[in-house]
Amino acid sequence: MEMMELEGKVHDESRQGEAFNPLMNENANFKKRFYIESYGCAMNFADSEVVASILNGEGFGATKLPDEADLILINTCSIREKAEMTVRKRLTEFRSLKKKKPGMLIGMLGCMAERLKAQLLEEEKLVDLVVGPDAYRSLPSLIEEAETGQKAVNVLLSRDETYGDIAPIRLDSNGVCAFVSIMRGCNNMCSFCVVPFTRGRERSRDANSILVEVEQLFATGYREVTLLGQNVDSYYWIDEKNDETITFAKLLERVALVSPLLRVRFSTSHPKDITDEVLYTIARYDNICNYIHLPVQSGSSRVLQLMNRTYTREWYIAKVNRIREILPNCGLSTDMITGFCTETEEDHRESYTLMEYCKYDLAYMYYYSERPGTLAERRYEDDIPEEVKKRRLQEIIALHRIHSLESMQRDVNKTFKVLIEANSKKSDTDWHGRTDHNKVVIFPKENYNLNKGDYIDVFIHSCTAGTLLGKIVDKQ
């Protein structure tokens, strides 16, 4: 649950992504085609890029059209019930497509794999193969097995798999921003969260392999990387050759030193683990973005204890104060859950007032969805009526919208360095980029000779609740 959702929409947990990279389709010698959709957090999208690399090595090329595929894969999310319902709907649609194309295989990857493998394979017959997050290297052999008519399954979790030696193939990429996975799994047994059971124990990737990947990305034109982990602040790797322990702060510094032209972001931080050393490292390097995702989940100390978050409301507020002391202009986002087990109106009020205090720039807000197999499902009754959960969620959302607009308005009449990422979705005559604080900026191209991946100073003249609107600063 700690991993920030890829889209910035409130309580919308799935984003469909087309698995298509034109470079993968230039070679006409591919013997088969695959299509992949990913749902949920950024880690799932990064995993799909590892899967694409493995399949590419086996002679599979990507397609953006499911009916062209010999293999359809759906990378799943178990965080909320709605995500699972979306995945089931898509699998049913793909199964209908398979009836028209004998020989097509359908596979399920990711976090739903372990929990629903028997049901989806045998009872509903929606998939031909099921592969857990730590078993993607076995995909080629599982595909061969499924091609014989057998049901192919590997959902074993690993204590050492990081895919550190696999160069991901960037799917649906803008060529400017990329995810780089630095660790896998999670040791934080938050009672509401299924991740420790679907992704296994925490393990950190070889720092040298991370740096090689980042350097290659920069050399091929990428200008922003986001370092990914369920809890990046607990990154810990021992460089035995140099007898050195690499913490997240040290890794962050090494990545920043690849080039001052490379922006560095990271997600996600657990409040209990983010250190002053990390904050001072951010302050020291201009290319480490002043933006931290710091999930709180609840503003009530009593509920936080039930969630097994290991901090109190007061402790969290002190951490926010420390961030703003060391990084006065730091953007801050969070996750918030309403309607957790036994949550009272007073507990809800404490979440509300905490958001009033923190005034987050961005928030990912959800009402509680009990997940089978979690500690909360075993220990507590899901006793808050859904209409109460939804009402409390709407109150939180309404408050955050005020804060989001205020945050945007504070940036009007200021100038920011913006990294150009793509054309605006609404007009090819406008650029789409982001500030250091992770705010979207739209501005006209005019007659400037600029390209994706360029940095440019933009004066902000107006805004909406979610977007800054600006104009290029003429330096002549």
Written as one string, the DSSP assignment of 210-262 is HHHHHHHHHHTT--EEEEE-TTGGG-EEEETTTTEEEEHHHHHHHHHTT-TTS
**Domain co-membership, 330 together with 435:** no
Domain that holds residue 233: 177-408
Positive or negative, the Cα torsion across 265, 271, 275, 279?
positive
**Domain co-membership, 49 together with 138:** yes
Q: What is the pLDDT of residue 123?
A: 67
CB proximity list for 135: less than 8 A, separation 6 or greater: 154, 155, 156, 158
- Given 377, 392, 408, the domain boundary residue is 408
Cut 0.85: pTM above it: yes
**Domain co-membership, 426 together with 402:** no
Number of domains in the chain: 3
d(CA 452, CA 445): 11
**Domain co-membership, 430 together with 377:** no
Q: What is the pLDDT of residue 24?
A: 45
- Given 154, 188, 205, the domain boundary residue is 154
Which residues of the chain are under the pLDDT cut of 70?
A: 1-28, 123, 475-476
> If you count them, how many residues does the chain have?
476
CA distances (Å), origin 460, targets 101, 332, 364, 414, 418: 52, 20, 25, 6, 11
**Domain co-membership, 133 together with 259:** no
| Residue 400: inside a domain | yes
Q: What backbone torsions phi and psi does residue 378 show, to the nearest 5 degrees? A: -80, -35
Give the alpha-carbon dihedral of 164, 167, 173, 175, to 10 degrees. Answer: 110
**Domain co-membership, 84 together with 195:** no
| Residue 428: inside a domain | yes
DSSP state of 4: P
Is the separation of the CB atoms in 72 and 106 below 8 Å? yes
**Domain co-membership, 366 together with 253:** yes
Is the separation of the CB atoms in 351 and 368 below 8 Å? no
CATH number at residue 388: 3.80.30.20
Q: What is the pLDDT of residue 235?
A: 97
